[in-house]
A and B are shown apart, each in its own frame.
Chain A
Amino acid sequence: MPENSVTMYSLSTCSHCKSVKKLLDECTIQYEFTDVDLLKGKERTAILEDIKKFNPNCSFPTIIIGEKVIVGYKEKEIKEALGL
Chain B
Amino acid sequence: MDIEKLYEMLRKAQEPKGYYFNKDKERTFELLEALQENKERYGYMVCPCRLASGEREGDKDIICPCVYREPDVEEYGSCYCNLYVSQEWNEENIPHEYVPERRPPDKIRF
Contact = CB atoms under 8 A, between A and B. Distances in A.
Interface residues of A, number: 21
B87 interface: no
Given A13-B38, A14-B49, 19 more contacts: A13-B49, A14-B34, A14-B50, A15-B31, A16-B49, A37-B51, A37-B52, A48-B108, A48-B110, A57-B105, A58-B51, A58-B108, A59-B101, A59-B103, A60-B50, A71-B101, A72-B100, A73-B98, A74-B98
Given A37-B51, A48-B110, A60-B51, A13 B98 contact: no
Interface in B15-44: 27, 30-31, 34, 37-38
Interface of B: 27, 30-31, 34, 37-38, 48-52, 81-83, 98, 100-101, 103, 105, 108, 110
Secondary structure of the B contact surface, majority rule: loop
